[in-house]
């Protein structure tokens, strides 16, 4: 199933986890630590609820405060895209706004990975195709596409029990992107 189809079929928790995982993997661009989004992940792991309750809104406000302001690791489109993902996160996770956010986060995260891919050179203007395989994509971008699909599949197959493995997938991606950002910073300095 393509990434576009997985997003179209995802439930509320799956959509929230999908958008959150994309943002989580891009936290290094916002100078956030590995625990920056932990409060939001905790609301999704609650088996009794979903992301539409007040806990999500409170956690989102805390995260925005923590990641606000200057100090982003770099300038340019990648950082702007990461900031937009955070700014667009809905305080009430339900309905079409959640699907729109998850879809936009998917596109933005793939674009960020394309911009930062060492082998990609100048990033093409077109978005990364999300309805095909990974053939022809730079390794960093292909891995991000696979991670996005894995998160959605974990939540679709396991509900609340899929949150922890989805977080593990996201953590791996965050470490990879942090290394890429660090290498690029050393190359400029």
pLDDT tens figures, 154-176: 999 999 999 999 999 999 999 99
Whether the per-residue pLDDT at 48 is higher than 90: the answer is: no
Whether the per-residue pLDDT at 53 is higher than 70: the answer is: no
pLDDT, residue 120, reads 55
Angle, helices 139-158 vs 95-116, to 10°: value is: 150
pLDDT, residue 68, reads 76
Whether the per-residue pLDDT at 134 is higher than 60: the answer is: yes
pLDDT, residue 95, reads 78
Whether the per-residue pLDDT at 132 is higher than 90: the answer is: no
pLDDT, residue 112, reads 94
- Output the pTM of the full model: 0.90
pLDDT tens figures, 66-106: 887 655 545 588 999 999 999 999 998 777 999 999 999 99
pLDDT, residue 69, reads 63
């Amino acid at each position: 199933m393509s990434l576009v189809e997985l997003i179209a079929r995802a439930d509320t928790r799956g959509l929230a986890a999908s958008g959150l995982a994309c943002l989580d993997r891009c936290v290094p661009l916002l100078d956030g630590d590995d625990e920056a989004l932990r409060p939001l992940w905790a609301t999704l792991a609650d088996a009794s609820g979903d992301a539409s309750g007040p806990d999500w809104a409170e956690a989102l406000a805390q995260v925005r405060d923590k990641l606000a302001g200057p100090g982003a690791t770099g300038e340019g489109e990648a950082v702007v895209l990461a900031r937009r993902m955070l700014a667009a996160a809905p305080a009430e996770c339900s309905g079409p706004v959640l699907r729109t956010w998850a879809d936009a986060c998917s596109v933005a995260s793939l674009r960020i990975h394309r911009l930062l891919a060492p082998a990609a050179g100048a990033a093409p203007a077109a978005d990364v195709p999300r309805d095909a395989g990974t053939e022809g994509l730079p390794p960093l971008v292909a891995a991000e596409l696979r991670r996005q699909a894995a998160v959605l599949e974990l939540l679709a197959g396991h509900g609340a029990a899929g949150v922890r493995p989805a977080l593990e997938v996201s953590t791996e991606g965050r470490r990879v992107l942090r290394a890429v950002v660090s290498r690029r910073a050393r190359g400029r300095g």
